[in-house]
Every structure is written in structure tokens, then in C-alpha cells.
């Protein structure tokens, strides 16, 4: 991974901002990077369970699309109760006892297995709405986010829908969900670089290690930003050094940043001194 | 037997800090860490190694190359896990484990392997038995592992006659959080007085309404934004959700984390510890 400063920034570059642990500053950093971009930039909020980017970027939405997945509806009049649809479903979304057959839409993973095995055209396509996708403009920033329906367990199809809006060319910044399981993997799987935001605490370090493990598995270049760098100890530093993971920037704890964040003010607004280091960070990552 | 789940919506607002302290304060209980993709509670409760067990859930499809004719039938995969060349290959990270490819493969060239996707533990701590788990990096099935951890905690509570299960939840409001809500009596939502914290709290309270679980709210680091703290309290009142108390910003919280001890119960309890004791005193009377 080259870290030499270069002139141009962000041609065909996709950067995900992720963390493992929640609340380390992913949204603060990703929205600020978008604000520091020298040219056109797109911001995708992939934390669809709890999207917060709009609070800091105040987009005006011009697009709203319902995100739906395909689920089966049993047409009892045509059903011969052969049981094939029940047998192929590994998620127990279809049950049958005697001549009663039922589907449980909330368990369905939309694999279409039941549609494919039914020989009696007894399964019709139904839709389950899993959330809403909105897109628009926040000043110079093209903004896209998704928001899952409350009570919906499945977030990956909505993350996919958000990512389908990603520009093919240009700089795209993705705000990842916390954790290291499927929503995180879906967000980072095809980006060029992952910026991991952590804090120098045992929780921050523990979850950073998990995130790095996933990224190393699919050989994804990554670097670390240490947030609230003076509230903790030096174990993150030591671990990064020993593991060969570069620390690209440290942001100290400032009550002003915390208070600005609380009010929904972005980092470059509440702490203008940070604009230059963030611009440099972006240039480093893109070079 | 009663069960309390600590949730937040937004990550990093103090769920684990709160749960670690409740583990010190409550008597005769089982502790369960249901944030299985970034489990941190063990870092505070210093568990002594107990039983360690495999968690196997679902399947992953694998192509037996010798038998594959490259016909492409398996491309009916809905999860973009199949890549076709001379023979097919399946990306195990993208594979949802639906088994549709194996069912329809005319050459029987696809096998479904059991998916060993995590580890679960029962450990002893100074504060009581702890059931915890670690989902392997990048895995899915976090909801299933959460349900499993909860069922083990419940079994253990029945065996030992514990009257209470304390559950540390995941951030967000999706799959693992929904799984942590089954059979729960009370949600303790902890947030911080920030736009993001408030926004995400509203989604947690909507989720509580959706699944008809009683919720209580407390605020962490309330003094970072006293005006918003007041607004959040009012909004709880409007929703008829009881507000249990507020915890001030206290640097001792970070130092306790670094030393791996709960905020309450150590020699020099500060303002945060005092506030948490107050919240527990109210909460235990609501059980």
C-alpha cells in the first residue's frame, strides 16, 4: 500500500470507514472526509439499522425507494401438498402439517428455492418491505442512505441496494455498520481501502483486532485512525506497530468536538484545525 | 425469573460499562453477552476459563471440482455467491446456506458442509456465571448465536435457581438485537445526549413498542450537552417511557475499562459509579 502523498485525489476510489466497536467515530470521520474532498464525492451510509450521516450533512432528498425482498405466498387452491417447498427451505419459512400449509415471511431469506421446486404453480411472489432508501444532495456531496423498517432483522439486501447507487467513477466514501458480521462484510467486500476508526481502550482494541482479521482474510488494504487518542493507553499503538497496520491519523479528545458532535455539527465545522490533516489523510489513502 | 437486556441503538454509548456494573450490583443472577460479533464484556469481568464449545449453525455450499461439468445451473443462486468458469466456485462469505444450488445441481457436484461459525463459553466470574460467545470473523448467523447464548443462560438460571438474567445487547436494531429480545422482560436503553444518540434511541423505543417489551431509559455523559439531555427526558415523558437517571462524564470510566474492572465496586467510586447505583436502585424495584 502506497502512502506517498500524490496530487490528484479520488479517481475511482472507494473507501469504507469501519470500526468493529460502535461509537468510535465512524460517522464523524466519514462525513468529515466527504466534506474535505477536493472534488465530486459520494457518501453512502451503509449503517442502515441506525443511519446517522444525515444528521451531520443535512442532505436534501430527491429520491425515495422502498426496498423489498421477494417472499412466497402459497396459493392453496393450486397446492397439492407435496411438501417439496417445505423440504427445500432451510430457514423453516414454510411448514406443513396434513393439508395445512403456512409460510412465515419473516424467516424467509429470499433464496427462491420454493418457487423453483413447486411444480403446481402454487407459490406466488409476494414482497416484504425491509426498508427505505433515500438519495439526494448535501451541498457538493451526493448522499445515499438506507433505513431498515423497525422490526426487520434483515439488513444486507438494503445495504446492497444502497451500494448499487455507488458511482462507477470518482470518490465514494462508505460509512460502515459496527460489528464484524455480515452487514460489515457486505459493506467492505468490494472497496479499495478500509479506514478503521478506533479508540485506545481495551474494547476499541479488541474489536479492532476482529475487524482487521476479517479484512486480512480477503486481503483488503486498511489503516487505522485513533480517535480520542489521549483517553486510554498505548496498547492500540503497540499492536498496530507489531501487526504492520499503519496508524494514519490521531485525533485527540476535545470537549469542543464532543459538544459539537452532540449538536449534530460535523468535525470540520467544530474543529477547523482538523481540515488540513483530514485532507492529507484522504490524499494518502488515495495515492 | 426476570430478564433485562441493555440496548442502545447507537454503539459506544456505554452498554457494556452499564452491564458490567449491574453484574456487580445485582444478586443471584446469570450474565449473558449477546453482542456476539464484538463481545467485550469478558474484558471487564475477567472470566476464569470454563467450558468452551463449538457453535455450528447452517451450511455452506462447496463445489466438488471433479464432478462439476460447468453447466451453470447453480447460477440460480440469489446471493451472487457463484462464479462460473470451467467449473463453478462458491464464495463462502457470500453463501447464505440456502442449499438451492446443491438441490438443483444435475451432477451432484455440490455438497453442503456444516458451518462451524463460532465458539461459546460458560465461564465463572467474581460476579456470577457468564455465558458468552464469539462469532468468527465475517460470519453470519449472529441472531442464531444470540438465541443460543440466551437459551444457555436460561438453562443455567433454572439449574442454579438464579432469579435474574442480565443481557448485554448488540448495537443497532437488526438481527442480533431482535434475537436478544425473545422472552425478555425489560429493555434498559442507554444513550448519550447527542443527535445521533437520540435518533437511535427513538428507533430502539420503536422496536420495544413493536415487540411489546417494556423499556426504561438512562443517559450516559449527560453533561456533554445538558440542554439535549433535558429534551431527551421530555421526549421519554411524551412517550410514557420511564427515565431512570443520568450518568455524568467521568474519566474513571475509561480507567476502569483499562484496568478491566466494573465502574462500581472499586475502591474509589466516582460520580459515574454513584449515578449507576441510583439507576440500579430504581430498576430493581421495577422488576
The string of pLDDT tens digits covering residues A116-136 is 999 999 999 999 999 999 999
User: Which chain B residues are closer than 8 Å to A150 by Cβ?
Assistant: 173, 203, 206-207, 210
Residue at a domain's end among B68, B98, B116: B116
Q: Are residues B148 and B205 in the same domain?
A: yes
Let me know if residue B17 belongs to a domain. Answer: yes
Let me know if residue B52 belongs to a domain. Answer: no
**Which residue, chain included where needed, has cell 459538544?**
A259
Min Cα separation B165/chain A (Å) = 23
Q: Are residues B251 and B162 in the same domain?
A: yes
Strands A171-175 and A193-198, bridge-based pairing: unpaired
Residue numbers of the domain that contains B79: 57-116
CB atoms B138 and A217 under 8 Å: yes
- Whether the ipTM is more than 0.90: the answer is yes
Give the number of domains in chain B.
2
Let me know if residue A151 belongs to a domain. Answer: no
Given a contact cutoff of 8 angstroms between Cβ atoms, the answer to whether B16 and B41 are in contact is yes
Let me know if residue B181 belongs to a domain. Answer: yes
Given a contact cutoff of 8 angstroms between Cβ atoms, the answer to whether B199 and A50 are in contact is yes
Let me know if residue A195 belongs to a domain. Answer: yes
What is the domain-level CATH number for residue A75? 3.30.70.20
Let me know if residue B51 belongs to a domain. Answer: no
Q: Are residues B135 and B241 in the same domain?
A: yes
Report how far residue A271's alpha carbon sits from residue A45's, in angstroms, rounded to the nearest whole number: 23
Q: What is the pLDDT of residue A259?
A: 86
Let me know if residue B121 belongs to a domain. Answer: no
User: Which chain A residues are closer than 8 Å to B254 by Cβ?
Assistant: 201, 231-232
Given a contact cutoff of 8 angstroms between Cβ atoms, the answer to whether A145 and A132 are in contact is no
Q: Are residues B86 and B203 in the same domain?
A: no
Cell of A138: 448535501
**Which residue, chain included where needed, has cell 450490583?**
B25
Q: Are residues B93 and B226 in the same domain?
A: no
Give the number of domains in chain A.
2
User: Which chain A residues are closer than 8 Å to B143 by Cβ?
Assistant: 153
CB atoms B196 and A27 under 8 Å: yes
The residues, any chain, with a CB within 8 Å of residue A246's CB and separated by 6 or more, are A1, A3, A223, A224, A240
CB atoms A262 and B225 under 8 Å: yes
Q: Are residues B151 and B34 in the same domain?
A: yes
DSSP single-letter state for residue A40: -
Min Cα separation A202/chain B (Å) = 6
Cα–chain center distance at A60: 21
Let me know if residue B205 belongs to a domain. Answer: yes
Let me know if residue A48 belongs to a domain. Answer: no
Q: Are residues A89 and A183 in the same domain?
A: no
Let me know if residue A73 belongs to a domain. Answer: yes
Query: Which chain B residues in 12-41 lie under 8 Å from chain A, judged by CB atoms?
Result: 12-13, 16, 37-38, 40
Let me know if residue A135 belongs to a domain. Answer: no
- Least CA distance to B224: which residue of chain A? A259
Let me know if residue A161 belongs to a domain. Answer: no
**What's the angle, vertex CA B64, arms to CA B62 and CA B65, rounded to 5?**
120
Q: Are residues A90 and A20 in the same domain?
A: no
Report how far residue A232's alpha carbon sits from residue B269's, in angstroms, rounded to the nearest whole number: 19
Q: Are residues B139 and B234 in the same domain?
A: yes
Residue at a domain's end among A78, A103, A129: A129
Q: Is B102 helix (H, G, I), strand (E, B) or coil?
A: helix
Min Cα separation B224/chain A (Å) = 6
**Which residue, chain included where needed, has cell 469542543?**
A256
Q: Are residues A241 and A183 in the same domain?
A: yes
- Least CA distance to B191: which residue of chain A? A23
Strands A94-97 and A100-103, bridge-based pairing: antiparallel
CB atoms B140 and A214 under 8 Å: no
Let me know if residue A32 belongs to a domain. Answer: yes
What is the domain-level CATH number for residue A192? 3.40.50.300
Report how far residue B38's alpha carbon sits from residue A181's, in angstroms, rounded to the nearest whole number: 9
Q: Are residues A282 and A175 in the same domain?
A: yes
Helical residues (DSSP H) of B26-171, grouped into ranges = 41-45, 100-104, 142-160
Give me the residue from A50, A91, A264 closest to B10, CB to CB: A50
DSSP single-letter state for residue A154: -
Q: Are residues B71 and B39 in the same domain?
A: no
Q: Are residues A174 and A281 in the same domain?
A: yes
**What's the angle, vertex CA B223, arms to CA B220 and CA B229, rounded to 5?**
70
Q: What is the pLDDT of residue A287?
A: 85
**Which residue, chain included where needed, has cell 411448514?**
A95
Condensed to tens digits (0 to 9), the pLDDT of residues A181-231 reads 999 999 999 999 999 999 999 999 999 999 999 999 889 999 999 999 998
Let me know if residue A76 belongs to a domain. Answer: yes
In this prediction, the residues of chain A whose per-residue pLDDT falls under 70 are: 1-11
What is the domain-level CATH number for residue B255? 3.40.50.300
Given a contact cutoff of 8 angstroms between Cβ atoms, the answer to whether A196 and A68 are in contact is no
Q: Are residues A118 and A219 in the same domain?
A: no
pLDDT, tens digit only, all 287 positions of chain B: 999 999 999 999 999 999 999 999 999 999 999 999 899 999 999 999 899 999 999 999 999 999 999 999 999 999 999 999 999 999 998 999 999 999 999 999 999 999 999 999 999 999 999 999 999 988 887 899 999 999 999 999 999 999 999 999 999 999 999 999 999 999 999 999 999 999 999 999 999 999 999 999 999 999 999 999 999 999 999 999 999 999 999 999 999 999 999 999 888 789 999 999 999 999 999 99
Q: Are residues A26 and A73 in the same domain?
A: no
Residue at a domain's end among B116, B136, B155: B116
Q: Are residues A175 and A270 in the same domain?
A: yes
What is the domain-level CATH number for residue B110? 3.30.70.20
Round the average pLDDT of chain A to a whole number and report it: 93
The residues, any chain, with a CB within 8 Å of residue B281's CB and separated by 6 or more, are none
Q: How many CB pairs under 8 A join A and B?
A: 180
Q: Are residues B86 and B222 in the same domain?
A: no
Q: Is A283 left (phi over 0), alpha (psi -120 to 50) or beta?
A: alpha
Q: What is the pLDDT of residue A4?
A: 34
Residue at a domain's end among B83, B116, B149: B116
Q: Are residues A184 and A281 in the same domain?
A: yes
Residue of B106, B118, B254, B263 best to disrupt the A interface, most CBs of A under 10 A:
B254
Q: Are residues B69 and B184 in the same domain?
A: no
Residue at a domain's end among A129, A158, A178: A129
- Least CA distance to A93: which residue of chain B? B98
Cα–chain center distance at A79: 41
Q: Is A83 helix (H, G, I), strand (E, B) or coil?
A: coil
Residue numbers of the domain that contains A274: 13-40+170-286
Amino acid at each position: 500500500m502506497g502512502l506517498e502523498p500524490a496530487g490528484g485525489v479520488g479517481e475511482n476510489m472507494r473507501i469504507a470507514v469501519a470500526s468493529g466497536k460502535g461509537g468510535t467515530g465512524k460517522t464523524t470521520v466519514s462525513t468529515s472526509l466527504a466534506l474535505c474532498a477536493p472534488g465530486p464525492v459520494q457518501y453512502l451510509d451503509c449503517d442502515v439499522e441506525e443511519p446517522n450521516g444525515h444528521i451531520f450533512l443535512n442532505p436534501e432528498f430527491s429520491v425515495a425507494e422502498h426496498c423489498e425482498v421477494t417472499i412466497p405466498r402459497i396459493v392453496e387452491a393450486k397446492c397439492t401438498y407435496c411438501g417439496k417447498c417445505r423440504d427445500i427451505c432451510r430457514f423453516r419459512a414454510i411448514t406443513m402439517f396434513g393439508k395445512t400449509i403456512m409460510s412465515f415471511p419473516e424467516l424467509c431469506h429470499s433464496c427462491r428455492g420454493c418457487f423453483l421446486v413447486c411444480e403446481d404453480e402454487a407459490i406466488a411472489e409476494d414482497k416484504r418491505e425491509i426498508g427505505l432508501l433515500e438519495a439526494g444532495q448535501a451541498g457538493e456531496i451526493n448522499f445515499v442512505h438506507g433505513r431498515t423498517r423497525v422490526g426487520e432483522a434483515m439488513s444486507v439486501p438494503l445495504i446492497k441496494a444502497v451500494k448499487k447507487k455507488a458511482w462507477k467513477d470518482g470518490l465514494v466514501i462508505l460509512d460502515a455498520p459496527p460489528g464484524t458480521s455480515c452487514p460489515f462484510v457486505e459493506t467492505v467486500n468490494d472497496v479499495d481501502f478500509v479506514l478503521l476508526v478506533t479508540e485506545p481502550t481495551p474494547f476499541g482494541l479488541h474489536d479492532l483486532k476482529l475487524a482487521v482479521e476479517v479484512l486480512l482474510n480477503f486481503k483488503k488494504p486498511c489503516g487505522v485512525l485513533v480517535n480520542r487518542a489521549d483517553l486510554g493507553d498505548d496498547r492500540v499503538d503497540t499492536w498496530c506497530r507489531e501487526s504492520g497496520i499503519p496508524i494514519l491519523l490521531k485525533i485527540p479528545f476535545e470537549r469542543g468536538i464532543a459538544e459539537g458532535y452532540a449538536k449534530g455539527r460535523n468535525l470540520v465545522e467544530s474543529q477547523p484545525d482538523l481540515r488540513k490533516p483530514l485532507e492529507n489523510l484522504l490524499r494518502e489513502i488515495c495515492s | 425469573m426476570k430478564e433485562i437486556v441493555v440496548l442502545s441503538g447507537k454503539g459506544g454509548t456505554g452498554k457494556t460499562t452499564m452491564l458490567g456494573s449491574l453484574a456487580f450490583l445485582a444478586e443471584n443472577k446469570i450474565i449473558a453477552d449477546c453482542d456476539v460479533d464484538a463481545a467485550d464484556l469478558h474484558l471487564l469481568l475477567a472470566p476464569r476459563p470454563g467450558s468452551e464449545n463449538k457453535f455450528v449453525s447452517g451450511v455452506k455450499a462447496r463445489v466438488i471440482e471433479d464432478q462439476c461439468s460447468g453447466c451453470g445451473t447453480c447460477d440460480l443462486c440469489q446471493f451472487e455467491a457463484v462464479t462460473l468458469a470451467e467449473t463453478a466456485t462458491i464464495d463462502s462469505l457470500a453463501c447464505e446456506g440456502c442449499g438451492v444450488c446443491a438441490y438443483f445441481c444435475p451432477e451432484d457436484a455440490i455438497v453442503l458442509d456444516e458451518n462451524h461459525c463460532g465458539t461459546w463459553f460458560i465461564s465463572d466470574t467474581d460476579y456470577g456465571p457468564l455465558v458468552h460467545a464469539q462469532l468468527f470473523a465475517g460470519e453470519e448467523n449472529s441472531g442464531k448465536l444470540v438465541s443460543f447464548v440466551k437459551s444457555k443462560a436460561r438453562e443455567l438460571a433454572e439449574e442454579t435457581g438464579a432469579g435474574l438474567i442480565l443481557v448485554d445487547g448488540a448495537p443497532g436494531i437488526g438481527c442480533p438485537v431482535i434475537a436478544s429480545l425473545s422472552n425478555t422482560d425489560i429493555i434498559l436503553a442507554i444513550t448519550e445526549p447527542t443527535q445521533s444518540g437520540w435518533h437511535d434511541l427513538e428507533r430502539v423505543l420503536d422496536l420495544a413498542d413493536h415487540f411489546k417489551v417494556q423499556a426504561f431509559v438512562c443517559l450516559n455523559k449527560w453533561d456533554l450537552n445538558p440542554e439535549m439531555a433535558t429534551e431527551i427526558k421530555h421526549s421519554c415523558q411524551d412517550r410514557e417511557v420511564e427515565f431512570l437517571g443520568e450518568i455524568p462524564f467521568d474519566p474513571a470510566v475509561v480507567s476502569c475499562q483499562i484496568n478491566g474492572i466494573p465502574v462500581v465496586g472499586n475502591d474509589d467510586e466516582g460520580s459515574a459509579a454513584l449515578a449507576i447505583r441510583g439507576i440500579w436502585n430504581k430498576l430493581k424495584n421495577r422488576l
